[in-house]
C-alpha cells in the first residue's frame, strides 16, 4: 500500500491569455517538476462535480474527497465558520461575511480594498440580540464568518450582499413565515454593526492613510451544519490537511482530517510554499492521506492576473522536488478543484488537468502537465472518480466481485 499526497491548486484550470502569448498560466509556467511527475504516471482531464458545472471550492472538494455535495452541501456559511475554528452546534445558522466599503449609501468596494487583520472589528461586532448570540470571526483578507446561536432560527433568509457595486447594502428578508424572527434579528444586528464600523478606530486609521474603510459587513451563504461520515470510516485512512484557507480546513475538519498548521502558510499568493511541501513530506510518517490546497492560483484567476497565476504555479513547481524522491512509496495526485480563468475572473465549468504519479504504473506518453497536453492522456473523468482511482493506484481498493 502506498501513501497519498493530493495536491490541489485551487482554480488551476485556465483559458488562453493574450498577455502570455495565448497560453494558459500552466502552459506558460516553467514547471520542470510538474512535467517530471506527469512523466511518472497517468494524466487526464477532470470535470469538478460533473461536466460543465461551475463548481465552488466547497462542492468540488467535497466531491473530490468522495462526499456527494447534493447530499452534504448545506451552503458555504457553515464550512467557512468551521474553518475559522468556530464550533457549530445543532440549530446554529452560519454565514459567510465580507467586509465592504460603503460611500454615500452605496457599495463602492465589495472587498474593502482586500482589507487585512480585521480581528478588532469582528470582536466588537459580537453581541446578543433578543436572546440570539452573534459570533463573528475574521478570515483571510476581507472575509469573515458570522454564526447565530439561539432558539427558533431559520436559514430561509435572503443574503444582504447585493453582489454588485453601486448598489446600496441590503437588509435580510424572510423567505418563509417561520424565518421572520431570524430576519428581524439579523437586521437589528446589521443596524448596530454599521454604527460600530462607521466610528471604529480601525477604520479611522485606514481612512487617514488613504485606504478604504471596512464600514459594512455583508452576509451570504446561510446554512446549517451537515453531519458527514468520516474519511477514516469511508477509506480506512488517517488523513491530514494542509491549507491556509478556512473553507478547505473546515471541510477537512468535518470529514475528520487533522488540520496541520504550517509556519508562514496564509492562503494568499505570498504563502510559504516550501514549508507547505516540507510539512506534507514530514506528515507522510504519520498519515496515509495528505490533502494540500494552494489558494494563490484561484486568487490570481479572480483578480484576472495571468502573470501572477503563472508565478504561483512556478512557486509550487520550484518546491515539489522532494515529492519526486517519494514515488516508490507514495502516490502523488495533482489537480485543481475547478478552473478560474484569468480572462473570466471567476470559476468556469472547464475541465482541469489531473495526474496520478507513482513508480510502477503506466505512463500514458504525456510528459507535460497542462490543460492541452493531458487531453491526450488516459482519463476523462469527473471528481467522483478521483477517490476510486486513488484507492486503486495506492493498492488500497477492495475487489469488486470474486
Query: Residues interacting with Zn ion, by CB under 5 A?
Result: 10, 57, 298, 337
* Nearest-approach distance from CB 372 to Zn ion, in angstroms: 21
Cβ proximity to Zn ion: between 22 and 50 the closer is 50
Closest CA to 6 of 246, 336, 267, 316: 336
Instruction: Provide the minimum distance between the beta carbon of 346 and Zn ion in the complex, in angstroms, as a whole number.
Output: 7
CB of 337 to Zn ion, least distance (A): 4
Closest by CA position to 92, among listed 230, 226, 208, 264: 226
Minimum gap (Å) between residue 216 Cβ and Zn ion: 22
Shorter beta-carbon distance to Zn ion: residue 337 or 350 = 337
Grid cell at residue 331: 502516490
Alpha-carbon distance of 157 to 175, in angstroms, equals 5
Q: Which is nearer to Zn ion, 43 or 57 (CB)?
A: 57
Which residue in this structure is represented by grid cell 504519520? 286
Which residue has cell 421572520? 180
**Cα 388 from chain centre:** 22
In this complex, which beta carbon is closest to Zn ion, that of residue 57 or of residue 215? 57
Give the Cβ contact number of residue 32 at 10 Å: 10
Q: How many Cα atoms within 13 Å fall on the side-chain side of residue 282?
A: 10
Residue (298 or 317) nearer to Zn ion, CB = 298
**CB of 175: closest distance to Zn ion in angstroms?**
26
Q: How far is the CB of 12 from Zn ion (least distance, A)?
A: 9
Q: What's the min distance (Å) between Cβ of 81 and Zn ion?
A: 18
- Among 99, 92, 227, which residue's Cα sits nearest to residue 155? 92
Q: 10 or 14: whose CB is closer to Zn ion?
A: 10
User: DSSP states of 87-149 as a string?
Assistant: ---TT-EEEEEEEEEEETTEEEETTGGG----HHHHHHH-EEETTEEEEEEE-STTEEEEEEE
Residue showing the smallest CB distance to Zn ion in the complex: 57
Burial (CB < 10 A; 0-12, 13-18, 19+), residue 207, is exposed
Which residue, 190 or 255, is less far from Zn ion as judged by CB? 255
Amino acid at each position: 500500500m502506498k501513501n497519498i499526497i493530493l495536491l490541489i491548486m485551487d482554480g488551476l484550470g485556465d483559458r488562453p491569455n493574450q498577455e502570455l502569448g495565448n497560453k494558459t498560466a500552466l502552459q506558460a509556467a516553467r514547471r520542470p517538476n510538474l512535467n517530471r511527475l506527469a512523466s511518472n504516471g497517468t494524466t487526464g482531464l477532470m470535470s469538478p462535480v460533473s461536466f460543465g458545472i461551475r463548481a465552488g471550492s466547497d462542492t468540488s472538494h467535497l466531491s473530490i474527497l468522495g462526499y456527494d455535495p447534493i447530499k452534504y452541501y448545506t451552503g458555504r456559511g457553515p464550512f467557512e465558520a468551521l474553518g475559522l475554528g468556530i464550533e457549530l452546534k445543532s440549530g446554529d445558522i452560519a454565514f459567510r461575511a465580507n467586509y465592504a466599503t460603503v460611500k454615500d449609501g452605496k457599495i463602492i468596494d465589495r472587498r474593502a480594498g482586500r482589507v487585512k487583520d480585521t480581528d478588532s472589528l469582528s470582536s466588537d461586532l459580537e453581541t446578543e440580540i433578543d436572546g440570539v448570540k452573534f459570533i463573528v470571526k475574521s478570515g483571510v483578507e476581507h472575509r469573515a464568518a458570522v454564526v447565530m446561536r439561539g432558539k427558533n432560527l431559520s436559514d430561509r433568509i435572503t443574503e444582504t450582499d447585493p453582489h454588485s457595486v453601486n448598489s446600496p447594502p441590503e437588509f435580510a428578508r424572510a423567505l418563509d413565515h417561520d424565518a421572520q424572527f431570524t430576519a428581524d434579528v439579523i437586521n437589528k444586528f446589521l443596524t448596530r454593526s454599521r454604527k460600530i464600523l462607521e466610528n471604529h478606530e480601525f477604520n479611522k486609521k485606514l481612512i487617514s492613510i488613504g485606504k478604504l474603510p471596512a464600514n459594512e459587513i455583508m452576509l451570504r451563504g446561510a446554512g446549517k451544519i451537515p453531519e458527514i461520515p468520516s474519511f477514516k470510516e469511508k477509506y480506512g485512512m488517517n488523513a491530514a490537511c494542509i491549507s491556509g484557507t478556512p473553507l478547505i480546513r473546515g471541510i477537512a475538519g468535518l470529514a475528520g482530517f487533522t488540520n496541520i498548521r504550517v509556519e508562514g502558510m496564509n492562503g494568499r499568493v505570498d504563502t510559504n510554499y516550501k514549508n507547505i511541501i516540507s510539512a506534507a513530506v514530514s506528515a507522510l510518517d504519520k498519515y496515509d492521506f495528505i490533502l494540500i490546497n494552494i489558494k494563490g492560483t484561484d486568487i490570481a484567476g479572480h483578480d484576472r492576473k495571468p502573470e501572477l497565476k503563472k508565478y504561483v504555479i512556478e512557486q509550487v513547481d520550484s518546491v515539489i522536488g522532494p515529492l519526486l524522491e517519494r514515488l516508490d512509496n507514495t502516490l502523488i495526485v495533482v489537480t485543481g478543484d475547478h478552473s478560474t480563468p484569468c480572462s473570466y475572473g471567476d470559476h468556469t465549468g472547464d475541465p482541469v488537468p489531473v495526474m496520478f504519479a507513482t513508480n510502477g504504473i503506466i505512463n500514458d506518453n504525456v510528459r507535460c502537465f497542462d490543460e492541452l497536453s493531458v487531453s491526450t492522456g488516459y482519463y476523462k473523468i469527473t471528481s467522483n472518480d478521483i477517490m476510486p482511482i486513488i484507492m486503486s493506484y495506492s493498492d488500497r481498493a477492495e475487489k469488486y466481485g470474486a
